[in-house]
Amino acid sequence: MMREQYLTAYRWMLLARISEEKYASLYRAGKIYGGVFVGKGQEAISAATALALRKGDIFAPLIRDQAGRLAFGESLLDATRTYLGSRLGPMRGRDGNVHRGRPRDGYMAMVSHLGSMISVVSGALMARRSKGETGAIGAVSMGEGGTSTGAFHEALNQAAVEKLPLVVVVTNNQYAYSTPTARQFACGNLADRAVGYGIEGYTLERGNDLAACLDVIGLAAERARAGRGPQMVVASTLRLSGHGEHDDGHYVLDALKRSATGADCMKVTEQFILDEGLGTAAELEHWRADAVRQVEEAVATAQREPAPDPDTEDWCALSTRFLGDTYDGGCH
């Protein structure tokens, strides 16, 4: 584990944490339409996933991946624009918050139906292979709740059959909305499922330990790139928020909050930086101030940008415009 990589990851985590705290406060102030879903407690896993990827790779993040999205190359302004509904953002006000992406750049725009994006990444990898383009891998984020879907199962099996260079990172954050793991699955360890699919699996007990995340997810990515087929990492941590900002998460057990799983990855990481001499308290303070400045700038910019305009909006869902069914019910 190299100092530079660790600190790079930490700074993406920090920018994610601070930007999402800002979005949450804007939400409470009524400045954001729709929901805000934060990755608090999952930043280490998310950043490590994106940092295992290179230019030209494919990434399908999920709702708690602000850190990974930024680390993969999304601009903070694009993220902020999507929350604030700017017409200049990648979704132009047509879709919001976590449903953003730039698929042409390998950055997939998730739909809400869990498990659906895994096979999309697989298809992109199949296309690369058929075009003779090698070397790229794909990574998909999933929660432990998403592993209960048929889509997840179908996609893992399909990826294994096709021996695709795919890394699936399952973050077990102990709750799917309000549902605890005991009501979600009955197997002892979700990573055991890898055996059933015929792929390699990894258990990452301390998903709030950035060094462990970088090591394990990095190894999985390396093996996928080396042609060993799909890899599944199951990382444990605790969601340190409600499901979204509308939810106070009162059902999260105190015992979990006090456990090692419940430790905040930001604090763990900062302590590690100080203990290992990777950075000083003054540097930590400086990086934090820098992140705050970036966030303030992005919010100020996005807030000045135009909202979508229903009168000039192109109300055609097809790219083949002349095949649009333009019937208006007689309401000319």
Structure tokens at 29: 């102030």
The burial class, CB within 10 Å (0-12 / 13-18 / 19+), for 169 is buried
Of the candidate spans 95-103, 193-201, 205-213, 304-312, the one that interacts with other proteins by CB under 8 A turns out to be 95-103
Residue among 122 and 141 whose Cβ is closer to other proteins: 122
CA 284 – CA 195 distance, rounded (Å): 42
Q: How far is the CB of 188 from other proteins (least distance, A)?
A: 26
Laid out side by side, the sheet with 138-143 consists of 58-60, 138-143, 166-172, 231-236, 200-204
Query: In this structure, how many other beta carbons lie within 10 angstroms of the beta carbon of residue 123?
Result: 15
Answer yes or no whether residue 155 interacts with other proteins by CB under 8 A.
Answer: yes
Query: In whole angstroms, what separates CA 326 from the centre of its chain?
Result: 37
* Residues with Cβ within 8 Å of residue 329, at least 6 apart in sequence: none
Q: At what angle do helices 43-51 and 3-28 cross, to 10 degrees?
A: 130
Answer yes or no whether residue 141 interacts with other proteins by CB under 8 A.
Answer: no
Q: How far is the CB of 38 from other proteins (least distance, A)?
A: 22
Answer yes or no whether residue 154 interacts with other proteins by CB under 8 A.
Answer: yes
Residue among 85 and 262 whose Cβ is closer to other proteins: 85
Q: How far is the CB of 116 from other proteins (least distance, A)?
A: 6
* Residues with Cβ within 8 Å of residue 147, at least 6 apart in sequence: 115, 170, 184, 185, 190, 193
Binding test (CB under 8 A) with other proteins, winner from 30, 130, 182, 309: 130
Residue among 121 and 235 whose Cβ is closer to other proteins: 121
Q: Residues 200, 214, 90, 146: is their CA dihedral positive or negative?
A: positive
- Residues 97-126: x/- map of binding to other proteins (CB under 8 A)? --x-xxxx---xx-xxx-xxxxxxxxxxxx
Answer yes or no whether residue 66 interacts with other proteins by CB under 8 A.
Answer: no
Binding test (CB under 8 A) with other proteins, winner from 131, 309, 310, 312: 131
Q: How far is the CB of 97 from other proteins (least distance, A)?
A: 13
Q: How far is the CB of 58 from other proteins (least distance, A)?
A: 8
Answer yes or no whether residue 286 interacts with other proteins by CB under 8 A.
Answer: no
User: Would you say 305 and 88 are in contact if contact means Cβ atoms under 8 Å apart?
Assistant: yes
Residue among 163 and 288 whose Cβ is closer to other proteins: 163
User: Would you say 107 and 117 are in contact if contact means Cβ atoms under 8 Å apart?
Assistant: no
Answer yes or no whether residue 210 interacts with other proteins by CB under 8 A.
Answer: no
Q: How far is the CB of 118 from other proteins (least distance, A)?
A: 7
Residues that bind other proteins (CB under 8 A): 90-91, 94-95, 99, 101-104, 108-109, 111-113, 115-128, 130-131, 150-151, 154-155, 157-158, 161, 317-320, 322-327, 329-330
